[in-house]
């Protein structure tokens, strides 16, 4: 093996802590040395592009599933891997593949999950609810929103979809200036008056802390954050209940072997080890979002969100596999943040987004 060590670039997330935790030391049983370098979400994409552009070397990088998959394959950033479906959830297996080949090895899922405090409301949600139901609930309760500019597009996405239309058509053209999408964004922006102050600055960490400390009746977060929400410092964890949206979106964070990797055999061995049943169950206990069916079945009694989360993964609608996805979706982040802050009306923001995206 070149350099006597496998190098992995990873995004900062509770699931990744499993791989790097010195007490767990899961890699002690792996036969090669492995170095995990972990970067926060805000810095991750640019750091990853340095790998693809030859400015840094990593054998393996973490990829946000279908969001980046097609682009990275067509630009020859990543290469096919060895893969066995086993009991990995079918929706996740499908996300790992492109044109009959497998390019990604799943780590954890990030999909829309609603967390609420039973003691702060008489409302009891079904396992799956509509964005309209959540908006009606928020009118009489205090909520928190993950409306930081780096999170706001995917946070808003269930509401953009609430009237039956998606933001892209079958040809991957943005169609977000339609009345359907604009009305959805208006509902999303209207939730700000029901939210804690400074909600426009909230990311994963803030939402997890707010839910743990019983500061709001409800909030929407990622499934991959639920293990952190319900950690040992959570106040009255049995008071928390879970639901998801009928318009939910999910992405599977996964490992990919970079095209510049000099250690393909060893890299594939590591990926097989990291998605093994034992590691998946352990990762699921920390992140709250495993990828194997058996991990959910075995953990259903211990982790009360697993039943709802399984429905979310099976029913969530992905964004399309498309070229320049990062550039296109980046415009949605900018323009939705403009609408949420009041710099633009929802109509103007979505009109500008559609025009900008369709020029790419």
Least confident of 19-23, 174-178, 186-190: 19-23
- Pairing mode, strands 34-39 and 78-79: unpaired
Q: Which of these, 64, 99, 101, 100, lies nearest to 79 by C-alpha position?
A: 101
Each residue's pLDDT tens digit, 263-273: 999 999 999 99
The DSSP bridge partners found for residue 128 are 244
Q: Are residues 66 and 190 in the same domain?
A: no
Claim to verify: residue 35 and residue 98 sit in the same structural domain: yes
Which pLDDT value is given to residue 159? 98
pLDDT at residue number 29: 84
76 with 156, same domain: the answer is no
Confidence band (pLDDT; 50, 70, 90) for 333? very high
Q: Are residues 124 and 192 in the same domain?
A: yes
Task: Let me know whether 118 and 240 are in one domain.
Answer: yes
Looking at the fold, whether 310 and 333 belong to one and the same domain comes out as: no
Instruction: Give the per-residue pLDDT at 108.
Output: 94
pLDDT attached to residue 13:
86
Residue 195: which domain range?
A: 110-249+319-357
Judge if 76 and 103 occupy the same domain: yes
Q: What is the pLDDT of residues 214-264, one digit of tens each?
A: 999 999 999 999 999 999 999 999 999 999 999 999 999 999 999 999 999
* Predicted local distance difference test score (pLDDT) of residue 154: 97
**pLDDT at residue number 288:** 87
Chain segment 24-81, per-residue pLDDT in tens = 899 998 999 999 999 998 899 999 999 999 999 999 999 999 999 999 999 999 999 9
Specify whether 340 is located in the same domain as 303. Answer: no
Residue 142 and residue 203 in one domain: yes
Both 184 and 332 in one domain: the answer is yes
Burial class of residue 267 in the structure, from the number of CB atoms within 10 Å of its CB (0-12 exposed, 13-18 middle, 19+ buried): buried
How much is the pLDDT for 287? Answer: 83
Specify the CATH number for the domain of residue 43: 3.40.190.10
* 136 and 240 share one domain: yes
- pLDDT interval class at 4 (50, 70, 90): confident
Considering the domain architecture, whether residues 175 and 145 belong to the same structural domain is answered as yes
As a whole number, the mean pLDDT across the chain is 95
Per the structure, the count of domains in the chain is 2
Tell me, what's the pLDDT at 3?
A: 72
Angle at 227 between CA 116 and CA 126, to 5 degrees: 35
Check residue 41 and give its pLDDT: 86
Contacts of 317 (CB under 8 A, 6+ apart): 161, 166, 247, 248, 249
For the cut 90, the answer to whether the pLDDT of residue 316 exceeds it is: yes
* Mean pLDDT calculated for residue range 127-154: 97
Give the pLDDT mean for 12-32: 89
């Amino acid at each position: 093996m070149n350099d006597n060590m496998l190098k992995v670039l990873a995004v900062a997330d509770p699931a990744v802590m499993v791989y790097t935790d010195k007490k767990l030391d899961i890699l002690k049983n792996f036969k090669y040395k492995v170095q995990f370098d972990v970067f926060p979400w805000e810095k991750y994409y640019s750091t990853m592009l340095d790998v693809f552009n030859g400015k840094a070397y990593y054998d393996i990088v973490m990829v946000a599933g279908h969001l980046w998959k097609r682009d990275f394959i067509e630009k020859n950033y990543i290469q096919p891997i060895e893969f066995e479906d086993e009991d990995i959830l079918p929706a996740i297996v499908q996300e790992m593949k492109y044109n009959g080949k497998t390019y990604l090895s799943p780590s954890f899922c990030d999909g829309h999950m609603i967390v609420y405090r039973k003691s702060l409301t008489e409302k009891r949600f079904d396992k799956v609810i509509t964005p309209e139901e959540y908006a009606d609930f928020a009118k009489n309760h205090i909520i928190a929103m993950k409306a930081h500019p780096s999170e706001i597009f995917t946070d808003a996405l269930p509401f953009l979809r609430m009237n039956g239309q998606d933001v892209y058509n079958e040809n991957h053209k943005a169609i977000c200036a339609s009345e359907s999408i604009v009305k959805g964004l208006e509902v999303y922006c209207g939730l700000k008056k029901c939210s804690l102050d400074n909600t426009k600055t909230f990311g994963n960490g803030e939402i997890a802390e707010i839910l743990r400390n019983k500061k709001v009746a409800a909030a929407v977060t990622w499934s991959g954050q639920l293990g952190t929400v319900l950690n040992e410092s959570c106040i009255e964890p049995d008071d928390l209940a879970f639901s998801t949206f009928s318009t939910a979106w999910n992405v599977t964070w996964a490992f990919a072997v970079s095209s510049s990797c000099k250690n393909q055999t060893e890299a594939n061995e590591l990926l097989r080890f990291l998605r093994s049943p034992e590691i998946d169950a352990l990762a699921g206990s920390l992140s709250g979002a495993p990828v194997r069916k058996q991990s959910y079945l075995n953990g259903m009694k211990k982790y009360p969100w697993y039943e709802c989360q399984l429905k979310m993964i099976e029913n969530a609608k992905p964004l399309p596999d498309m070229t320049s996805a990062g550039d296109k979706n980046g415009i949605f982040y900018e323009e939705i943040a403009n609408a949420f802050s009041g710099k633009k009306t929802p109509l103007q923001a979505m009109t500008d987004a559609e025009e900008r995206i369709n020029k790419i």
